[in-house]
Amino acid sequence: MIKKNIEEGLQKAISYTSYRKRISDLIASGKSSGPIQSEDLLNYSKLNDRRMTRLDKTIQLSQETLLALKKINKPITWLVLSEGWCGDAAQTLPVINKIADKSDLINLRIIFRDEHEELMRHFLTNGGKSIPKLIVLNSENDVLNTWGPRPNIATKMVQDYKNAHGQLDAAFKQELQVWYNKDKGVNIQENMVGLLTN
């Protein structure tokens, strides 16, 4: 069943450029991605769109990342479940795209989580539909690995805060965005190198 869901997802998957355009077009018509519409989700989408535009221009790949890319010897697909209002997706997708763009053997495809509920159910994080979720597939569409919804340092920050405060609040979300800005995609690259070399 999982393979069938993956193949259905791949049929509807779009490129990073198309994903960015879809989000921008939705924002222009006063909407966010997904079935639930609210002013908050629209505002998050607008903020994320600006954030991704900035990251697309500024992200630099490390030598370690570039070396890891040269060692890939078989084609792989990175299928990412995402939504335009998701802050973690806005911080990570530009880095993932920049890496995929540097290799002829990585095919980055993106689908909207809420249009693919069945597929999402196979890749829950602690029982939740957390995104972004990257699924690494071989040429037969077998799952080789998964990643997400955050780089490992951010994941630890989230866990530590939840342990101390019970839940994430606006103050923590601000703190997390500050961390992403300071990190400049380094931790995500380290995680992606880990995926490529395992």
CA nearest neighbour of 177 among 16, 61, 54:
54
Per-residue pLDDT, 1: 82
Number of domains in the chain: 1
Pairing label, strands 76-82, 106-112: parallel
Per-residue pLDDT, 70: 93
Sign of the alpha-carbon torsion through 15, 53, 62, 186? negative
d(C-alpha 125, C-alpha 63), whole Å: 31
CA nearest neighbour of 58 among 152, 164, 183, 175:
183
CA nearest neighbour of 106 among 1, 184, 6, 16:
16
- For 31, the domain range is 2-197
Per-residue pLDDT, 68: 95
Q: In this structure, what CATH number is given to the domain that contains residue 61? A: 3.40.30.10
Angle between helical axes of 87-101 and 39-58 (0-180°, round to 10): 30
pLDDT digits (tens, 9 = 90+) for 161-185: 999 998 888 889 889 999 999 999 9
Q: Which residue has the tokens 């909207």?
A: 112
Regions of the chain short of the pLDDT cut 70: none
Per-residue pLDDT, 69: 95
Cis before 132? omega within 30? yes
